[in-house]
Amino acid sequence: MKIVSLADFQQFDSQKMKKNNLFQTERFFCDIYCFEPGQEQKGHVHENQDKAYIVLEGQGIFQVGSAHQMLEAGQGVMAPAGETHGVKNSTNHRLKVLVFVAPNPS
């Protein structure tokens, strides 16, 4: 059994959004994405993977399809396969997001 502490997977990178992997199998992965102020994950599409975002800390603008919505800690959204999705930290504070993707795109 693999036990993780979320505090151990919340590293940031001053150059770009940082992906910190918690769990990964052939069918699934779970990361914590860490955004410094102004960083973003540009809109993109996964044709065969669903992605769920849960905000752990901070606020960010989340895109799913043509919709853009500010979410804060405790809120989440899902981007179904084939939908454009992305995240932007447009605040002056750090943003931490728990991310689930299935099946694993690797």
For 26-51, write each residue's pLDDT tens digit.
Answer: 999 999 999 999 999 999 999 999 99
Q: What is the pLDDT of residue 104?
A: 76
| The pair of three-digit structure tokens given for residue 56, joined into one six-digit string | 């752990």
Rounded to two decimals, what is the model's pTM?
Answer: 0.94
**DSSP state string for 1-22:** -----GGGG----SSS-EEEEE
Sheet holding 67-72, edge to edge: 40-44, 85-88, 59-64, 67-72
Superfamily of domain 8-101 in the CATH hierarchy:
Jelly Rolls (2.60.120.10)
Residue whose pair of structure tokens reads 């989440």 in the numeric block: 76
Q: Give the H or E element holding residue 39.
A: none
